[in-house]
């Protein structure tokens, strides 16, 4: 290989290496709304007495059931949302102090209705309906 050809190929290859991160980053799933797993027609039943849901015994507590975050908002009101942030699908948590659902990955914050309060997310969290009968919480689309 001649020196001129080597320098030319090196320049092209080097520029591809420099550009690759920007090109690949532009193909990311930024702000794609995730598709939550569908809930069965009869809904999902949660046993509030089960140890996995002990945090729901207190107002302000939260727990996860699959891809759903369940929050005990008051003595009788439970909220259920997709736990996947609509920015890049990280798992949101719940802050009882502020009544919001922050995403620890990129700083998005959602209200207790699922609406975006702070970006970078631009889409609301999917909200599910809830009903309680005794110690059973039912979550439906």
Mean pLDDT, consecutive 10-residue segments, the chain of 141 residues?
60 50 43 67 93 95 95 95 92 94 94 94 95 95 90
Q: What is the pLDDT of residue 19?
A: 47
Q: DSSP assignment, residue 134?
A: T
User: Distance between CA 102 and CA 92 in Å, rounded?
Assistant: 6
User: Distance between CA 8 and CA 126 in Å, rounded?
Assistant: 52
Is residue 129 within 8 Å of residue 140, measured between CB atoms? yes
Is residue 39 within 8 Å of residue 30, measured between CB atoms? no
Query: What's the predicted TM-score (pTM) here?
Result: 0.74
């Amino acid at each position: 290989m001649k020196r001129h050809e080597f320098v030319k190929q090196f320049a092209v290859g080097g520029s591809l290496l420099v550009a690759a991160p920007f090109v690949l980053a532009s193909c990311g799933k930024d702000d794609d709304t995730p598709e939550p797993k569908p809930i069965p027609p009869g809904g999902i039943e949660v046993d509030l007495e089960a140890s996995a849901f002990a945090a729901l015994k207190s107002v302000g507590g939260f727990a996860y059931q699959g891809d759903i975050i369940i929050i005990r908002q008051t003595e009788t009101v439970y909220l259920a949302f997709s736990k996947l942030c609509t920015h890049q699908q990280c798992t949101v948590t719940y802050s009882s102090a502020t009544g919001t659902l922050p995403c620890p990955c990129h700083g998005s914050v959602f209200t207790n209705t699922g609406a975006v309060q702070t970006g970078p997310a631009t889409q609301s969290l999917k909200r599910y309906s809830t009903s309680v009968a005794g110690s059973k919480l039912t979550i439906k689309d």
